[in-house]
With several copies, the nearest count.
Chain A
C-alpha cells in the first residue's frame, strides 16, 4: 500500500493492518517521521509533485523489495500543513529475518528523503523557510550504490 495524502493517519492502525496483511514474515519494521518541535517552529508545510510522487515511490518500493527480499513494504506520506508532533510519514517493511527488514526500511527512508518529489517548508515564529537538503542525507543514500 502506497498513499500520498493530506489527511492525518493513525500509525498504530497502519502498523496493525500491515502486520495482519503479512504471511511468512518473521520481522516487521516501521519508521515514522514526526514534526520535531524545534524552538520557534510552528509547523511544516509539505509540497509535492502529484504526477510524479506516487510512481517515484512505487519504483523505490519495488527496488527495496527486490534488493532485500522484502515480503511487503508500505509507504504513507502526508502533504499540506502539519503541526508540531504530527506524523509526517511512515514506512513499514516485512521480511523473513530482521536484518533485511531493517535494511529495507532504511533504504526506503534514504530514497524518500532525497529522491521522492516532496519539499518541506518550515513555518517559524520569525518567518518561513524551505528546508535545505542535507549533505548527510545524500551521503546516507550513497551507501546503497
Chain B
C-alpha cells in the first residue's frame, strides 16, 4: 500500500489530493502506468509527463526511480515558488 499525493493542476484534474494505492509497481514509471489506467481524469493528468515532477518520500527524483519501500509518492507540475 502506497500513498499517492497530487498538487496544483494534477490535484485539480484528478479531483483528489491523496489516494491509497495497492500496487506491485517497482518504479515510478510503472506506478504512473497503473494510475493512468484508473480513469480518464488520471489519464489526462499523466498525459504529458514533461509537465510532471515526482518526489518519492518527499525527495525529488525521476520516473526511473525504484519505489522499493516507498511510503509516499507525490506528483506535481514544475514548481513555481519564490
Contacts and interface: CB of A to CB of B under 8 A. Distances in A.
Contact of A49 (B74, B78, B80, B82): B74
B72 A133 contact: no
A39 interface: no
Contacts of A47: 7-8, 11
A12 to B, nearest CB: 20
A18 to B, nearest CB: 18
Interface in A101-130: 109, 112-121, 130
A133 B58 contact: no
A113 B82 contact: yes
B80 A112 contact: no
Interface string A87-103: 01100000000100000
Given A33-B82, A117-B7, A49 B77 contact: no
A119 B7 contact: yes
Given A47-B7, A55-B58, A119-B7, A130 B82 contact: no
Contacts of A114: 78-79, 81
Contact of A113 (B5, B55, B74, B81): B81
B60 to A, nearest CB: 7
Given A49-B7, A49-B74, A118 B55 contact: no
Given A55-B58, A112-B82, A117-B79, A49 B5 contact: yes
A118 B77 contact: no
Interface in A36-65: 46-49, 51-52, 55-56
Interface string B42-82: 00000000000001001110000000000010101111111
Interface string B1-43: 0000101110100000000000000000000000000000000
B82 A109 contact: yes
